[in-house]
Amino acid sequence: MAANLTFMQSVSSTNRTFILPSSFYIMGLYNVPHAQYYYVFLCFVYAVTVLGNFFIMGTIYLAHSLHTAKYIAVFNLALCDLCGSSALIPKLLDMFLFENQYISYEACLANMFFVYVFMTMQSLNLLAMAYDRVIAICCPLRYYAIVTKPAMTLIICVMWILSISVNAVLIGLITRLSFCRSTTVNSYFCDHAPVYKLACNDNSMNSIMGYVCMAALLYIPLILIALSYVCIGFALQKISQGVERIKAIKTCTSHVILVAMFYLPIIGIYTAGLTTSINTNVRIINTALTQAIPPMLNPIIYTLKTEEVLQSIKAIYKQTKVNSSMEKAVKKTVRN
DSSP string, 10-67: --STT-PEEEEESEEEE--S-S-TTHHHHHHHHHHHHHHHHHHHHHHHHHHHH-GGG-
Q: How many CB atoms lie within 10 A of CB 332?
A: 9
170 touches 209 (CB < 8 A): yes
Say whether 254 sits in a helix, a strand or coil.
helix
Rounded to two decimals, the pTM is 0.87
How far is Cα of residue 99 from the mean position of the Cα atoms in its chain?
Answer: 26
Q: How many CB atoms lie within 10 A of CB 317?
A: 10
Q: How many CB atoms lie within 10 A of CB 269?
A: 17
How far apart, in whole angstroms, are the C-alpha atoms of residue 73 and residue 79? Answer: 10
94 touches 100 (CB < 8 A): yes
How far apart, in whole angstroms, are the C-alpha atoms of residue 324 and residue 316? Answer: 12
What distances in angstroms separate CA 298 from CA 25, 60, 149, 205, one per listed residue?
Answer: 32, 14, 22, 35
β-strands 23-26, 102-104: how paired? antiparallel
Per DSSP, what are the bridge partners of residue 6?
20
Say whether 334 sits in a helix, a strand or coil.
helix
Q: What number does CATH give the domain 32-317?
A: 1.20.1070.10
179 touches 21 (CB < 8 A): yes
β-strands 23-26, 184-185: how paired? parallel
Q: Quote the pLDDT of residue 96.
A: 76
Structural domain spans, the chain:
32-317
pLDDT average per 10 residues of sequence, the chain (336 residues): 43 56 85 77 91 94 91 94 92 79 92 94 94 92 93 96 95 92 87 90 90 89 94 84 78 88 83 69 79 89 80 84 72 68
Q: Can you give the length of the chain in residues?
A: 336
The burial of 49, by beta-carbon neighbours within 10 Å (0-12 exposed, 13-18 middle, 19 or more buried), is given as: buried
Q: Quote the pLDDT of residue 275.
A: 66
Q: Quote the pLDDT of residue 4.
A: 45
β-strands 17-21, 5-9: how paired? antiparallel
Q: Quote the pLDDT of residue 240.
A: 62
111 touches 91 (CB < 8 A): yes
How far apart, in whole angstroms, are the C-alpha atoms of residue 272 and residue 275? Answer: 5
How far apart, in whole angstroms, are the C-alpha atoms of residue 147 and residue 144? Answer: 6
Q: Quote the pLDDT of residue 202.
A: 86
